[in-house]
Amino acid sequence: MRDFLDYLDFRKGHIYDLAVEHVKIVLVAIAIATAISILIAILTYRSARIAAIVLGIQGASLTVPSLALFGLLIPFVGLGYRPVLVALVIYALLPITRNTITGLRGVDPAIIESAQGMGMGRLRRLFRIELPLAWPVILTGIRVSTVMTLGIAAIGAYVNGPGLGEDIFAGLSRIGTPTAVHLALGGTLGVVVLAMLFDAFYVVVGKLTISKGVR
């Protein structure tokens, strides 16, 4: 235990750099996935059947093990940052798309009818009424995706991706040596701390962006 704390103190600069890389790639992936997901949801939520098909495809992609997906992407986008980013985006899609569709479909039809009856056009209704009302559910989807991709990003180190996975895999490849456990534990702990920080971040985002009237 003492050893591990000494190790952390010694490596803190390095771990911090890895954590920053880790956060960056997750944030970029979540931003891209959110944009794609909300767009897909807006285009499909009116039809229960089309929405189900889209969610089915996205669900199936989630069942591909991440390690396999990274490998499969190498021929197309090479090693390093890019396959990891693409894979993270693919994984992040489902929770956000599903929650956006659920949120949009869950808006009380009476609210839609009254908006329509007052002369709100379709776009205005979508942006002024439906999306704001679905937002708490969408945000939950984004949170779930973020925590999930934080973990998957760690595995991205296997294809030379950035982030805390680097230390985890370095440790695993050195099993038997004294630093092996320290390396793996340090990286893992970093991911856990990031997940908690992100959770806190989303609580604040929710406070700031969800109307008091629907909280």
Taking alpha carbons only, the member of 77, 89, 58 closest to residue 159 is 77
Query: Could you say which of 13, 75, 121, 178 contacts other proteins (CB under 8 A)?
Result: 121
Task: Give 133 or 150: the residue with its C-beta nearer to other proteins.
Answer: 133
Within residues 82-111, the interface with other proteins by CB under 8 A covers 108, 110-111
- Bridge partners of 177? 175
Residue 64 φ/ψ, nearest 5 degrees: -70, 125
The reply on whether position 178 binds other proteins by CB under 8 A is no
The reply on whether position 28 binds other proteins by CB under 8 A is no
Burial degree of 150 (CB within 10 A; 0-12, 13-18, 19+): buried
The reply on whether position 212 binds other proteins by CB under 8 A is yes
The reply on whether position 211 binds other proteins by CB under 8 A is yes
Task: Give 42 or 120: the residue with its C-beta nearer to other proteins.
Answer: 120
The reply on whether position 126 binds other proteins by CB under 8 A is no
d(C-alpha 138, C-alpha 140), whole Å: 5
Rounded to a whole number of angstroms, the CA Rg of the chain reads 20
Query: Could you say which of 28, 77, 129, 195 contacts other proteins (CB under 8 A)?
Result: 129
Within residues 48-77, the interface with other proteins by CB under 8 A covers none
The reply on whether position 113 binds other proteins by CB under 8 A is yes
Those residues with Cβ within 8 angstroms of residue 76's Cβ, 6 or more apart along the chain or in another chain: 83
Q: Tokens at residue 184, please?
A: 């793996």
Residue 175 φ/ψ, nearest 5 degrees: -55, 135
Contact positions vs other proteins (CB under 8 A): 108, 110-121, 124, 129, 132-133, 211-214
